[in-house]
Chain A
Amino acid sequence: MGKTLYDKIWDMHLVAQAGTDNLIYIDRHLIHEVTSPQAFAGLEEKGRKLRRPDRTFATMDHSISTKSLALDACGPANQLQLRTLMENCEKFGVELFPVGHKKQGIVHVIGPELGLILPGMTVVCGDSHTATHGAFGALAFGIGTSEVEHVFATQTLKQGKAKAMKVEVNGTLSIGVTAKDIILAIIGKIGHAGATGYVLEYAGSAIAALSMEERMTICNMSIEAGAKAGLIAPDQITFDYLKDKERAPKGADWEAALACWQNLKSDADAQFDTVVSLTAEDIKPQVTWGTNPGQVVAVDEPIPAPTSFSDAVERTSAEKALKYMGLEAGQKLSDVAISHVFIGSCTNSRIEDLRAAAKIAAKGKVAAGVNAIVVPGSYAVKQQAEAEQLDKVFLDAGFEWRLPGCSMCLGMNDDLLQAGDRCASTSNRNFEGRQGRGARTHLVSPAMAAAAALAGHFVDVRELDK
């Protein structure tokens, strides 16, 4: 029987049997200020070394201001966390991209940007959106702080193997429909916990046609369906993206890598535990209406009635979500007014995302009463956007142009919403309180977010293109 891409990467990384578990090798360990301090402290308490600082890379992203480069801009607790990361990186010899550094940015934006993430690698980070890196055909997943400490000390992790699910998307996307809409449609179809216990492999002609940045958007939200990781087999688009990236292999090493990567795809006779199929032509711009990413509809569809769910638990969840969101069944999202727009996050803050949003922003002005911010994913994205004068487009339209970081995706800094605020957000989670206590989050693509900013309510971007 053939092997899946997941099987192949798994087999490449098996170090040993550890009891009834497997010990797998970790090629890249990305860290940030929030989930690493207790792991460093654990190493110190036990007098252990960090085994491979050369495979460990640190950035500041979650707790930082997007208005100031000062570490104390968001208060003493955030400052302590950032200083602790600096001290730990210094002490243990880990390369750090601090605030203000030309390579700083959201951990899942800078890793690929620097060419640190390669096909066939295992990549971990104390962050659930590590799944992003699966776009390169790397097995990438989020871990807890105890596991961060385990990787520090051993460069390995004890793991059980997950089941494999293939998610096929065939066909051609309509104009105005993006990678974000594909992944929201997938989560809407399989559910918020539909992929729990699985590693996903995205395949099909609509996936193969996507750019690397679009593929990252898809893989990023694998966790929002409960998946351990999401994978896309590497191809010429992947290789072209990586070629000549700063940290990517060069010369003979590149050739050797390429030879290995050519084989990194599921065999034709590989068996998946589950297969799900979607047709690209059926996917429309998506907007979430509830408090988990699976509670989503197309922008031209009404909000479903809780009674339409046959499952009692789903019905109750829908009732609670509508109450929290201040919405009613049957309402059209295009009638719902918004107060805020957030364009950013590890899901949608790369240059292509900003270009898509700027293209819409150039058509008008941010509506009265709407506060809209654009937060590039990294220093490099910010520089590129400014070179293309996208910052001017946003500023002229009335958006704020900020410094790179995680920002309002989770509001660990001061980019927070108030109770009752309603936000069109390009981020990945619409959980209760995620962007601020009592705040209401609707997940959308960058183009949909920009269009909502101008209109003051959700609009179907396909109408703007006519």
Chain B
Amino acid sequence: MTGIIQLRAKAAPLNRANVDTDQIIPKQFLTAVTRAGYGKHLFHDWRYLDLEEKVPNPEFELNRPEHQGSEILLARENFGCGSSREHAPWSLTDYGFKAVIATSFADIFYGNCMNNQLLPIALDNSQMDKLFAAVDADPQVQIEIDLPAQHVRVGEHSFAFEIKEHHKYKLIKGLDAIGETLELVAKIDAYEQQLPAWR
């Protein structure tokens, strides 16, 4: 997997709090046994008026012509709450999103992003207000994300964001986490040797 470093793209606004994983990718699409092809079902219940996904809901923000091709998603607090389904980041990346900027994220979803090269950025509500306003004023406005420098820029606004060093490293390098841990196999062996029988 290639790493994320800089991104300059337009953003689709989803001005809602508590966007849960059941909304991101409903249960009927979790019966697949592969990682690919979830993008067409992203936000299914909001995005389509029918179960067959033939009639787009014109009211839904992501369906507006001006937001097609967006690589950044904007949302409010507690994005990705609910189930641990990794199908949520799989569907967002398959749709074409590379970053989600929101007020806050649920823990499991946030962790799942790291394993899928999807960059979650948390900004406070007043900063989110400015991003939503910028996209509202000009849907084509380019939002710039600089991961190494930990900056989001739009127009004259520039916001710093927090990210843990090891998360940043992983997103930039796109590492094989399992391969990295397997280098510590001697320590895992040693740990197992001293375990009491009851465990």
Residues of B near A317 (CB, < 8 A) are: 16-18
Residue of A nearest to B51 (CB): A437
A32 to B176, CA, bound (A): 24
Residue of A nearest to B112 (CB): A144
A256 touches B108 (CB 8 A): no
**Contacts of B97-123 to chain A: CB distance below 8 A:** 103-108, 111-112, 115-116
Residues of B near A253 (CB, < 8 A) are: 196-198
B2 in the interface (beta carbon within 8 A): no
**Contacts of A14-48 to chain B: CB distance below 8 A:** 15-16, 18-21, 23, 25, 27, 34-35, 37-38, 41, 46, 48
A146 to B83, CA, bound (A): 15
B34 touches A156 (CB 8 A): no
- Contacts A154-B188, A429-B82 known; A313 to B115 CB distance under 8 Å? no
Interface size classification for chain B: 35 or more
B117 to chain A, nearest CB (A): 11
A63 touches B177 (CB 8 A): no
Chain B 29-52: CB-based contact to A (< 8 A → 1; otherwise 0) = 011111100000000010000010
Contact of A292 among B81, B89, B197 (CB under 8 A): B81
B84 touches A144 (CB 8 A): yes
**Contacts of B164-180 to chain A: CB distance below 8 A:** 164-166, 169, 177-178, 180
A204 in the interface (beta carbon within 8 A): no
B32 touches A146 (CB 8 A): no
Contact of B31 among A81, A155, A254, A432 (CB under 8 A): A81
Residues of A near B76 (CB, < 8 A) are: 313
Interface size classification for chain A: 35 or more
A410 in the interface (beta carbon within 8 A): yes
Residues of A near B94 (CB, < 8 A) are: none
A215 to chain B, nearest CB (A): 21
Q: Which of B5-13, B19-27, B142-150, B151-159 contacts A (4 or more CB under 8 A)?
A: B19-27
Q: Which of A121-129, A267-275, A296-304, A367-375 contacts B (4 or more CB under 8 A)?
A: A121-129
B84 touches A126 (CB 8 A): yes
Residues of B near A142 (CB, < 8 A) are: 83-84, 108
A196 in the interface (beta carbon within 8 A): yes
A78 to B29, CA, bound (A): 10
A128 to B86, CA, bound (A): 11
Residues of A near B164 (CB, < 8 A) are: 20, 160
**Contacts of A121-151 to chain B: CB distance below 8 A:** 121, 126-128, 130, 141-147, 149-150
Question: 21 pairs across A/B with beta carbons < 8 Å?
Answer: A21-B166, A27-B199, A51-B188, A63-B31, A127-B83, A130-B84, A146-B115, A146-B116, A192-B18, A193-B81, A193-B104, A193-B106, A197-B107, A226-B107, A256-B198, A260-B198, A313-B76, A316-B16, A317-B16, A429-B20, A434-B22
A412-B28, A412-B30 given. 5 additional CB < 8 A pairs? A81-B31, A142-B83, A193-B78, A249-B197, A253-B196
Q: Which residues of B contact A (CB under 8 A)?
A: 16-18, 20, 22-23, 26-28, 30-35, 45, 51, 76-78, 81-86, 89, 103-108, 111-112, 115-116, 125, 164-166, 169, 177-178, 180-182, 184-185, 187-188, 191-192, 196-199
